[in-house]
Chain A
Amino acid sequence: MAHDKFTAEVLTPEGELFSDEVEMLSTRTQVGSIGILAHHQPLLASLDPTELRLYRSESDIVRLAQAEGYLQVTGDHALVLVEEAHAPEELDTADLERRLRDAERAAEQAQEGTEERERAQRDANRAQAFLEVAKGS
């Protein structure tokens, strides 16, 4: 069954990555996985690193590895803001594994409850999520 379409836009600090009509968009908020269809109620959510999927149709799916970001849904428009996003084939597994190790080590060394530790943990989560996307492709 064909779904109603709505416009989706993916923006990063380096520019626009995606802007097209889609049937569905799926990603993960801090609370959990979420799928957006047309006519969704207005929403503002903060996103965790994960695989962002943009369904142009049931078979034509654009997949992106996304970092932390935000999702805003207003009317028939979905806006995804992420710090960085990459196509799965652009990801370098070896580099990501190194980043993951570095971040995990930094997190261990930092003291419990400090800002520093939280940030290292976030870097680790991001590398982990990107790795999963890279391996899934």
Chain B
Amino acid sequence: MQTQRDVRNRIGSIKNIQKVTRAMELVAAARLRRAEQRIANLRPYAGAIRRMTRQAAEAAGTEAGRLPLMRQHDSEDHVGLLLVTGDRGLAGAFNSQILRAGERAAHELSSESMRVSWYVSGRRGASSLVFRGHELTGSYAGFTDRPAYADARHIADDLMTAYIDDQIDRVDIIYNHYISPLTQRVTREVLLPLQEAAVLEGDDKDADGEGGGDRDGETHGAPEHRALVEYEPGPEEILRRLIPDYVEISIFRALLESTASEHGARMTAMRNASENAGELIEDLTLEMNRARQAEITQEIMEVVAGAESLT
């Protein structure tokens, strides 16, 4: 039987842990709200870029298919995998499910005798992959709490340069798609080569997110305007710039989604931890009361026994 003091010490330390987890939960909740806001802020911009891309691609006609980022390489034997993880742990399965999905994808690819180049954002992902003996081609960390557009641009630059210079033939991105604080879905998408279909009919795929913004924009690009539109410079040149931006936005969106997912996952994990701590404290309090009662009973028995021996 533990003494009262032992139990009281344990209750004390668990209360401290509970304070920490509760504070982390609150911080994560605040950051989650901000991250959700940023996803919402990006939507009008992303929608507008996509509409312009479509417009320019239609004006440029067959020229579009010849752009290096849209051109498929003749043979596909070297794939870049971009894993989006977080800088910090304590977020439930957030990081590990990405790493698992990454390992699985790499296994699949190598069974089709393709080589894999690893690109990782987030300190957690980078350190676990290095620990597992993978060599990282690109590693980006220090911003997953609050990714800036420049961070996405940096990653996109590396990937696009490698693609254009024929070092990799395809790029897949694996990230946590944010659904709710409780649910994040591991998502794998092909980033490069850019699918012509995704650009020109991208609305169907993203209809869930961009509904409002796209609909009002549709009138701007209505067919009757198209013939009269003036392009400065020509549609091909504009398209040449728009396409990389499109890739940057896709990455930026994945980073933001991942950040929201991370805070959501951490919030949920910390809430569970606080609840568990609460339960533990209840159990221990019960145990402490029992220990105290045992001591009292013991003392009474001793007193009674002493009194009896005197009579």
Q: A-side interface residues toward B, CB under 8 Å?
A: 11-16, 29-31, 34, 41-46, 68, 70, 72, 74-75, 77, 79, 81, 83-84, 114-116, 119
Contacting residues of chain B (43-100) with chain A, CB-CB under 8 angstroms: 44-46, 48-49, 52, 55-56
In whole angstroms, how far apart are the Cα atoms of A84 and B151 in the complex?
13
Q: Is A79's CB under 8 angstroms from B48's CB?
A: yes
Cα distance A68–B238 in the bound complex, in angstroms: 11
Q: Is the CB of B237 within 8 A of A30?
A: yes
The contact sample of 21 A-B pairs, CB cut-off 8 A, is: A13-B41, A14-B149, A16-B44, A29-B232, A30-B232, A31-B233, A41-B229, A44-B56, A44-B231, A44-B238, A45-B232, A70-B241, A74-B221, A74-B225, A77-B220, A81-B45, A81-B49, A83-B153, A83-B245, A114-B161, A119-B161
B207 CB within 8 Å of chain A: no
| Apart from the given pairs A72-B48, A119-B157, 20 other A-B contacts in the complex at a CB distance below 8 Å | A11-B44, A11-B45, A15-B41, A41-B230, A42-B228, A43-B229, A43-B232, A44-B52, A45-B231, A45-B233, A46-B233, A72-B52, A72-B220, A74-B220, A75-B225, A79-B220, A81-B45, A83-B149, A83-B245, A114-B165
The secondary structure that dominates the B interface is helix
Question: Which B residues contact A (CB, under 8 angstroms)?
Answer: 38, 41-42, 44-46, 48-49, 52, 55-56, 149-150, 153, 157, 160-161, 164-165, 220-221, 225, 228-233, 235, 237-238, 241-242, 245, 249, 252
Query: How far does the Cβ of A122 sit from chain B's closest Cβ, in whole Å?
Result: 10
CA distance A126 to B31 in the complex (A): 31
**Do B52 and A43 have beta carbons less than 8 Å apart?**
no
